Chain A
């Protein structure tokens, strides 16, 4: 008997409240309300925004040319002149980090975007058609999943040869299975919607059903996963550069900066500290932002 009040109560309420809003404006409004309630996620969003602004207007605000050596100021510690000090060639670390943000963000963003497109396509196909196609795609992604992420990327770069383009490819390849899996599971539940059966009964082709009726249902999951993967992609790209498999050391890449700096760790630790700190903060911000996004887009969370 104890459960009765709750059960009966919610029924009654449902008849009083209006139905969940589904128009784009209302849904976006509800999403913003839920997102803005999460203080840390909002802070993360601000950091990310700042990062993008810096990356875009970088050349306008850098105090020094990031590639120009200054042999009068080798490995200087932080000072008013060089806020983050200089590296072993006397290049301004702050300027290099600002230029590096363009590189790191564009490498990781393009890698994640490629992974998202590939993974979503594979996930939609596997989830919608099922059968042998599903098994093929899912076993393939299981194989990729069974490698430790970085090892896989190292393997790919080892085969393709070092270089930024190949880093993008490697990071994209190991990001694809995660999209495929998530989008497959969303597709499996989305295709149970009655409006999907209705579309079939009208005579809609599979392509139309997937594109018009199922893909829109997967968009929130795609957005969330993109934001969650960017952090990892920055880390992976940096790691590859650190290992000398990505950007050439002369490029102001965060990972490459770390790599170069480690030889001087004992005498000039600031060369490593600042790139390390920036990588850490960026990855953290993207992960928190992704979590916040997921919670705000989750229909089970109350507004």
Chain B
């Protein structure tokens, strides 16, 4: 199938302590690989600090990776300069979690929505206003709001403005970083529906970043589960939710509260807290909390392997000759 984005062996760490003493690095993203196909929704799911947002910002090169490769439409963009990236960003717009902070409060709605048009097109002010009005209608806000400022809008309406803005230059990919997490339940479903409608209409691909497994299941085609900077499992939606292989994916899925009092599930409750990404555990990063931890897990980093077509997992349980692996 046609690959839109391909990410190979991406690594990124942040310097968190300078000055006296040894430099300390926070390993935000550690050797991850995935692809996003045209028109599909690929989700990255995981808990806070797992590196999913950093990954999103690496893909559109708001951040520069330490190593690894990023390909967009068959072009290696890993080492492109900021100047060379700018025209490409037309095709990879972003929607943020916080619709309050990501929209400049000093700008009118029509100017916010038209900003990518100013940057990437040579349309006249009149043409831009018309486009903005059309986009506002498309996201269900109504063009009569064009002259207002964002503070007059509720969270859900602001997120619609953010989506209209991302849509304005007809991107091929939208990176949506927790786009519905800040919204109330009844508003959340409105925005999810809107995202799906727009995808159908425009053939967009989404890189959808979220911690909410229910939302992710609803919206995704394929999903990658992240833990402490690493991708532990990637699979298409149905495979992952019906047969999760990695113990972390299993625990995560079982921990989701189900809004149905009649469903009583066997819950895997993980012990302990997330280890610090500054000083991650040796071997498999999940081994400190893993219910089926083996000796080898503490020593060797598991390989991210394709165990069945399209289903990748990084866990020693699924090594070739898995049971022997534990003893060797």
Mark A residues whose CB is within 8 Å of B. 19-24, 193-195, 197-206, 208, 212-213, 216
Residues in chain A near residue B165, CB distance under 8 A: 202
Pairwise interchain contact B89-A201, C-beta atoms closer than 8 A: yes
Pairwise interchain contact A204-B102, C-beta atoms closer than 8 A: no
Contact pattern, B 71-96, Cβ under 8 Å of A = 1, otherwise 0: 00000000000100111111001101
Residues in chain B near residue A202, CB distance under 8 A: 89, 93-94, 115-116, 119, 165
Interface centre among A23, A198, A213 (most CB of B within 10 A): A198
Pairwise interchain contact B94-A195, C-beta atoms closer than 8 A: no
Q: Does B120 contact A (CB under 8 A)?
A: yes
In which size bucket is the chain B interface?
A: 20 to 34
Residues in chain A near residue B106, CB distance under 8 A: 22, 24, 216
Q: Does B69 contact A (CB under 8 A)?
A: no
Residues in chain B near residue A24, CB distance under 8 A: 106
CA of A36 to CA of B305, assembled, Å: 69
Q: Nearest CB to that of B162 among chain A residues?
A: A198
Pairwise interchain contact B151-A19, C-beta atoms closer than 8 A: yes
Known: A23-B151, A203-B85, A203-B116. 18 other contacts (CB 8 A): A22-B149, A22-B151, A24-B106, A193-B104, A194-B101, A195-B102, A199-B115, A201-B62, A201-B93, A201-B175, A202-B116, A202-B119, A202-B165, A203-B90, A205-B119, A208-B118, A212-B107, A213-B104
- Known: A22-B105, A194-B101, A213-B104. Is A203-B94 also a contact (CB below 8 A)? no
Secondary structure class of chain A's binding surface, majority of residues: helix
Mark B residues whose CB is within 8 Å of A. 60, 62, 82, 85-90, 93-94, 96, 98, 101-107, 115-116, 118-120, 149-152, 165, 175
Least CB distance from B103 to A in Å reads 6
Residues in chain B near residue A212, CB distance under 8 A: 104, 107
Least CB distance from B118 to A in Å reads 8
Pairwise interchain contact B151-A20, C-beta atoms closer than 8 A: yes
Least CB distance from A260 to B in Å reads 50
- Known: A22-B150, A202-B115. Is A194-B89 also a contact (CB below 8 A)? no
Residues in chain B near residue A205, CB distance under 8 A: 86, 119
Q: Nearest CB to that of B85 among chain A residues?
A: A203
- Known: A201-B94, A208-B119. Is A195-B151 also a contact (CB below 8 A)? no
Residues in chain A near residue B116, CB distance under 8 A: 202-203
- 3 closest A-B pairs by CB: A203-B89, A194-B101, A22-B105
Residues in chain B near residue A204, CB distance under 8 A: 86, 115, 119
- Known: A197-B62, A198-B94. Is A23-B149 also a contact (CB below 8 A)? yes
17 A–B pairs (Cβ distance < 8 Å), ordered by A: A20-B151, A22-B106, A193-B104, A195-B101, A195-B103, A197-B96, A198-B103, A200-B62, A201-B94, A202-B116, A203-B87, A203-B116, A204-B115, A204-B119, A205-B119, A213-B104, A216-B106
CA of A207 to CA of B60, assembled, Å: 20
Residues in chain B near residue A194, CB distance under 8 A: 96, 98, 101-102
Residues in chain A near residue B118, CB distance under 8 A: 208
Residues in chain A near residue B102, CB distance under 8 A: 194-195, 197-198
CA of A213 to CA of B101, assembled, Å: 12
Residues in chain A near residue B105, CB distance under 8 A: 22
Q: Nearest CB to that of A23 among chain B residues?
A: B149
